[in-house]
Amino acid sequence: MGSPPSLCPACHAARVTPLFTARDLHAQTPGRYTLARCETCSLIYVQNPPAPEQMGAWYHGEYWSKLEEVEPVPRGVRILARRIVARHPRGRAIDVGCGAGRNTAYLRDCGLDVVGLDPYAAACRQARERQGVRTVCALLPNAPLPEGTFDAITFLDVLEHLHDPLGDLRHARSLLRPGGGVYIKLPNVASVQARLFRECWAHVGVPWHLNHFTPRALRNLLVAAGFERVTCWSPADPRAAYSFELSLVLWLRERALSARDGAPSDPSGPDDAKAVPEAVYPAVPRLGKRAFRWCVRHLLYAPIAVENLIGLSPTLLAVGLKA
């Protein structure tokens, strides 16, 4: 599915090591995707992604609202917002990939003059109607935004979705004033649970997630885009136990499907997917679900929770400044 195996989207190198294949474990849409690690910059990326014009099949009106119903503003977003406000109080900002506008509204409420940017009209409409934020419906390179006039540009769980993350970061740099910066939050593929679950890790998320970053890969990308004083770190993630629980459920489901069918089969298309609920199994009593979740989060996850103490949590943050 999609284009032939491609060059690394971060450094355009061809020397890669195939790692594993993955499929959509969340919505059960069709297709298998090959993930490879670039031996030059260490980015892990999908070699056969859907073409950009095909992505609309996976992004629809309910996509953003369902995502933002899961949790309040994540801790990583709040950490980055504090850094932006400390450096640029009442500064001008762009929230790239604003979705339904939850994070954009939070940045606005922190005192920033922020505009949300998203290429999907349904997302921009939800952001305006639900959060009352200003939006521009366009891809970043095509947005009618003046160069050299912004203090901060955020990519909050967005960079992993982009076909050309290097090109988008270079364009973002051109929009910043001297001293401005990009502020990034995304899943950390170097986390302990990502290494444990591999293709069943909840944040692999193909075909939505095309790029998977380690701290080294993200630092290399920001330097290649021309940013200076680059910092990358992985703070403790209070949602890490939930991520572990969901990954375990996905892993167990894959094992069950393999045992039943020999190999998990792909549904025929994104509109008639054979979805299996991730969080709600009607046949399982509510008390059984609660007991399972408690055991997973408090017993099974306990030895993995060290990832939050050694800088290998599922959340990766980064800041890069323009000289």
Q: What is the pLDDT of residues 120-147, one digit of tens each?
A: 999 999 999 999 999 999 999 999 999 9
What is the per-residue pLDDT across 71-84, written as a single tens digit (0 to 9) for each? 689 999 999 999 99
What is the per-residue pLDDT across 192-247, written as a single tens digit (0 to 9) for each? 999 999 999 999 999 999 999 999 999 999 999 999 999 999 999 999 999 999 99
State the chain's mean pLDDT as an integer. Answer: 90
Confidence of residue 28 (pLDDT cuts 50, 70, 90): confident
- Sequence letter at residue 58: W
> Between β-strands 228-233 and 315-321, what pairing exists: parallel, antiparallel or unpaired?
antiparallel
Among 65-79, 95-109, 188-202, 247-261, name the one with the lowest average pLDDT.
65-79
In a domain? residue 16: no
Segment 100-107 shows an average pLDDT of: 96
Strand ranges in the chain using DSSP code E only, listed in sequence order: 16-23, 32-38, 44-46, 92-96, 113-118, 135-137, 150-156, 176-187, 211-212, 228-233, 315-321
297: left (phi over 0), alpha (psi -120 to 50) or beta: alpha
In a domain? residue 84: yes
Q: In the prediction, which pLDDT does 275 show?
A: 42
What does the alpha-carbon distance between residue 187 and residue 313 come to, in Å, rounded to a whole number?
Answer: 9
Q: In the prediction, which pLDDT does 3 show?
A: 45
- Does residue 89 surpass a pLDDT of 60? yes
Domains of the chain: total: 1
Q: In the prediction, which pLDDT does 270 show?
A: 43
142: left (phi over 0), alpha (psi -120 to 50) or beta: alpha
- Does residue 101 surpass a pLDDT of 90? yes
Q: In the prediction, which pLDDT does 107 show?
A: 98
- Which of 138, 154, 58 lies closest to 106, judged by CA? 154
- The tokens for 270 are 């994104």
In a domain? residue 133: yes
- pLDDT > 90 fraction of the chain, expressed in percent and rounded: 78
CATH number of the domain that residue 182 is part of: 3.40.50.150
- Does residue 256 surpass a pLDDT of 90? no
pTM for the whole thing? 0.91
In a domain? residue 162: yes
In a domain? residue 70: yes
Range of the domain at 184: 61-190+221-235+311-321
Q: In the prediction, which pLDDT does 2 show?
A: 43
Q: In the prediction, which pLDDT does 211 show?
A: 97
- Does residue 27 surpass a pLDDT of 80? yes
Segment 106-124 shows an average pLDDT of: 96
- Which of 278, 250, 247 lies closest to 66, judged by CA? 278
Q: In the prediction, which pLDDT does 284 show?
A: 74
| Position with higher pLDDT, 5 vs 288 | 288
What does the alpha-carbon distance between residue 134 and residue 94 come to, in Å, rounded to a whole number?
Answer: 10
